[in-house]
Amino acid sequence: MRITRNPRNDVDVKRLLEIFPDLMADGRRILHTQLEEALTMSRVASRYKTVVRRWRNVVLAERGVYLDGMLAEGQGLVALTPDEMVRFGNRQVRTAGRRLKKALIVLALPDDSALSEDSRRYRQRLLLATEQIAATHRAALRDLGKTLAPMKQLPRAAEG
């Protein structure tokens, strides 16, 4: 079965680009109610999510503006400022490190006797590749974490 793209989605993406032509990385909020009104559909519709995701991807690729939903706390999207983009990148890198660590733990759990031959071979390759990625980047991630951690407060000098 071949999945075909819905041409109406592209029309709706263009409509959003026309409605919000001046998006910049300035911290402005775009509410879901504004998007629902522009698209004449509810935010719980899967098509709404598809159109908004594609629009966000176009805005990122063409205008260099990342529209984040977490910062808007469920109310819509926020055009991240340059400083917020750096914080977002930091959050994503740290999340990737935690996910990689958890993946290694979960991959190692099953007993070989419980796996099919294909799964056993695949797991070995996956473990090896994941461990290589983790080992290659472990020092860089550790240094990055130390660099971005808040500075420790120095002890106060004794008054006397």
**CA nearest to 25, candidates 95, 93, 94, 77:** 77
pLDDT level of residue 153 (50, 70, 90 thresholds): low
**Among all chains, which residue has been given the structure tokens 């996910």?**
99
**pTM: predicted TM-score of the whole model, two decimal places:** 0.69
**pLDDT at residue 155 is higher than 60:** yes
pLDDT tens, residue by residue, 20-72: 998 898 999 999 999 999 999 999 999 999 999 999 999 999 999 999 988 88
Annotated domain spans of the chain: 8-80, 83-148
